[in-house]
Structure 1
Amino acid sequence: MPTSSASPSEGTEAMNTLGDVGEFGLIKRVTADREQPPTTLLGPGDDSAVVAAPDGRVVACTDVLVEGVHFRLDWSAPDQVGRKAAAANLADIAAMGAVPTALLVGLACPRDTPVETLEGLAAGLWAEAASAGAGVVGGDVASGPAIVLSVTALGSLQGRVPVTRAGAQPGDVVALCGRIGWAAAGLDVLHRGFRSPGAVVNAHRVPEPPYAAGPQAAQAGATSMIDVSDGLLADLAHVAEASGVTIEVSTAALVVPPRLAEVASALGVDPLGWLLTGGEDHALVATFPPGAVPEDWTVIGGAAAGDAVVLVDGAVRDGAAGWDHFAT
């Protein structure tokens, strides 16, 4: 949230909207008495925050969530939206092989937004940041026609070389850590007007990225890595293009969980589509030299010399590979 420390006006009447409490009243509410990790040297309350960067480098990324596009408050509680916004960025830090250290949050919303909603968003942001060992160190608030959350995450490589999308080599294996397909299944359920099963719907509301697996992969010698935000095939295509290799995925290695199989049967869809093209689970997928895959990672394919394409069981899969905001 914003870094200014001005105090809200003191009042005795109930203040229920952002217009009632004002910008600085909101800031005080969402930053007071929050714990910070040791990497936060100076948190909210000044012109800028100060975050430790022991090896002289900072990994940084930004993501934007827009009400009506990335979330709906009739589908998700405010704290779930906050957690989702944080997770989308923290997973990107982990995908570089780094450890998250801090979040900066930009918020735009109508002045009649209930303060309870904004406190919920903030609670989710703080909770997800803490789960990854990071703090919320500053940001900004502005008025706008809808709720928009812009989150910037910072991270530390702890002396390691960053793992980019560009290092995959022919002969590497492709491995996955974390769940895929669950968020897409949950979104399909919500679009059909249902709110259960809860485990599937909640996967859309709050992803569960394997944050620790990013640094683990880097230490194990991962040659490339990316988080699955837009879909497994879409994100592996970025690796294929950046590395100049063919990525091959074996569907035999992708196990459809029984719960997803049940939901797919009820909806009349092929669950494999969720696994291959569903986004927002923020699992990590990486390439490794043979024999270097860490525990808890599952080999799902390999990299080979050839055109920068992704093959599924030896062929290019028809249809969209994942989410594209500007696709027609």
Structure 2
Amino acid sequence: MADFPHTVAELGEGELLSRIFPRLGGPRMLLGPGDDAAVVAAPDGRSVLSIDTLVQDQDFRLQWPGGYRTTGYDVGWKCAAQNLSDINAMGAVATSLAVSLTLPGETPVSWIEGLADGLSAALRALGAENCTVAGGDLGRGNQLVVTAAVTGDLQEQNPVLRSGALPGDVLAVCGGLGQAAAGLALLESSLPYAELGSRERSLTAAQSRPCPPLAAGPAAAAAGAHAMMDISDGLVRDAGRLGKASGVRIDLDPEALRAEAEPLAGPAATLGADPMSWVLGGGEDHGLLAAFAPGQKLPRGFRRVGTARAPGDGVRVVTVAGAEPAFVGWDHFGG
């Protein structure tokens, strides 16, 4: 016989919390769930803070056209990854995370338990095992919404801002570029998920369970990166933001971009897509974009993709296939 109850409405808030929190935790917690707020150690005396939200049918689908079903584990993992990436982009190390869940009453209890497991697994697998899940909030609504706020420790370093790039700086990326966008295109297609090969499935995993390079942020900060940011909305859009904040123009190198696009050529041909559009416009790999002094040895994992020029306040793709890309990144309200 299946375990009862099956849904969060049948279980109730108190019992649901009792199933979630034993799956979470962490070493920095001075006072954990049970009071009105948690107390978490802040060794540096400063805290970096960020917040991000995943909304059903906006940021993920429960059922994809090809048959893939998004699990709670997927959403928990992705929630952790995108929030940890923002802390990483400041050169900091995540210390605590609080999660707010809005749930329809018919949500299966097992889906929420999977979310807690995915969140906890991502912290361990991505190298943020010292990040404490300090608590959160539960509410009822018409669709699934997962919001997380995360704090970070600068470890006595200065934060790396978007606004520090200088003329002549080398622009470099670390982490995936275009892979999550390719995975999204595969999930949105009518190709049966069960028939996808291992390469295609690895791309769908990059979308559902991204792996930001968390060691790279503090390493870039220690190496003296002038500017840095998370690539969450696409290389062109986010490079433009870095350029505007720094007062420089970013020239993206077409040869470097072609090298990034080449491994995606096979899946792109299957879908009749342009792999360059994924490289330029896809951001959910949650890699890093950083500016380094010319001639400086790039930290491990970083690849050059462009140069900062003056004067300016945006981005220019020097020439890719003779034309500007049609899609240059994600905008929640821009279509």
Q: TM-score, normalised by structure 2?
A: 0.90
Counting only pairs closer than 5 Å after superposition, residues 211-226 of structure 1 correspond to structure 2 as 211-226=214-229
- Percent identical among aligned pairs is 45
Find out whether 1:149 has 2:153 as its counterpart. no
Structure 1, 18-27 or 209-218: larger mean CA deviation: 18-27
Task: Give the equivalent residue in structure 2 for 1:76.
Answer: 70
The separation in 2 between residues aligned to 1:140 and 1:213, in whole angstroms, is 31
The separation in 2 between residues aligned to 1:33 and 1:191, in whole angstroms, is 32
Task: Give the equivalent residue in structure 2 for 1:312.
Answer: 317
Structure 1, 69-78 or 171-180: larger mean CA deviation: 69-78
Cα pair distance change 1:48/1:130, threshold 3 Å = farther
1:17 corresponds, among 7, 26, 48, to 7
The separation in 2 between residues aligned to 1:43 and 1:258, in whole angstroms, is 48
Cα pair distance change 1:202/1:33, threshold 3 Å = closer
1:204 corresponds, among 182, 202, 207, to 207
Task: Give the equivalent residue in structure 2 for 1:10.
Answer: none
Shift in Å, 1:200: 1.2
Task: Give the equivalent residue in structure 1 for 2:235.
Answer: 232
The separation in 2 between residues aligned to 1:225 and 1:93, in whole angstroms, is 11
Cα pair distance change 1:42/1:130, threshold 3 Å = farther
What do you get for the CA RMSD once the two structures are aligned? 1.8
Task: Give the equivalent residue in structure 2 for 1:105.
Answer: 99
The separation in 2 between residues aligned to 1:80 and 1:144, in whole angstroms, is 20
Task: Give the equivalent residue in structure 1 for 2:333.
Answer: 326
Structure 1, 19-28 or 258-267: larger mean CA deviation: 258-267
| Alignment check: 8 A CA contact 2:175 2:213 kept | yes
Task: Give the equivalent residue in structure 2 for 1:171.
Answer: 168
Counting only pairs closer than 5 Å after superposition, residues 127-146 of structure 1 correspond to structure 2 as 127-131=121-125, 132-133=128-129, 134-146=131-143
The separation in 2 between residues aligned to 1:187 and 1:33, in whole angstroms, is 29
The separation in 2 between residues aligned to 1:317 and 1:302, in whole angstroms, is 18
1:56 corresponds, among 39, 42, 45, to 45
Task: Give the equivalent residue in structure 2 for 1:293.
Answer: 298
1:62-96 C-alpha deviation (Å, 9 max, x unpaired): 00100011011224221011100111110000000
Matched residue type, 2:331: D
| Alignment check: 8 A CA contact 2:242 2:314 kept | no
Q: How many residues align?
A: 316
Task: Give the equivalent residue in structure 2 for 1:67.
Answer: 56
| Alignment check: 8 A CA contact 1:200 1:260 kept | no
Task: Give the equivalent residue in structure 2 for 1:280.
Answer: 284
Counting only pairs closer than 5 Å after superposition, residues 261-276 of structure 1 correspond to structure 2 as 261-276=265-280
Matched residue type, 1:49: A
The separation in 2 between residues aligned to 1:264 and 1:211, in whole angstroms, is 28
The separation in 1 between residues aligned to 2:169 and 2:244, in whole angstroms, is 15
Shift in Å, 1:129: 2.4
Q: TM-score, normalised by structure 1?
A: 0.92
Shift in Å, 1:42: 2.2
The runs of 5 or more residues in structure 1 that have no matched partner are 1-12
Shift in Å, 1:35: 4.5
Task: Give the equivalent residue in structure 2 for 1:8.
Answer: none
The runs of 5 or more residues in structure 2 that have no matched partner are 64-68
Cα pair distance change 1:319/1:225, threshold 3 Å = same
The separation in 2 between residues aligned to 1:318 and 1:117, in whole angstroms, is 39
Task: Give the equivalent residue in structure 2 for 1:44.
Answer: 33
Shift in Å, 1:130: 3.0
The separation in 2 between residues aligned to 1:107 and 1:35, in whole angstroms, is 17
The separation in 1 between residues aligned to 2:242 and 2:318, in whole angstroms, is 18
| Alignment check: 8 A CA contact 2:232 2:284 kept | yes
The separation in 1 between residues aligned to 2:260 and 2:268, in whole angstroms, is 10
Find out whether 1:190 has 2:194 as its counterpart. no
| Alignment check: 8 A CA contact 1:256 1:271 kept | no
| Alignment check: 8 A CA contact 1:230 1:322 kept | yes
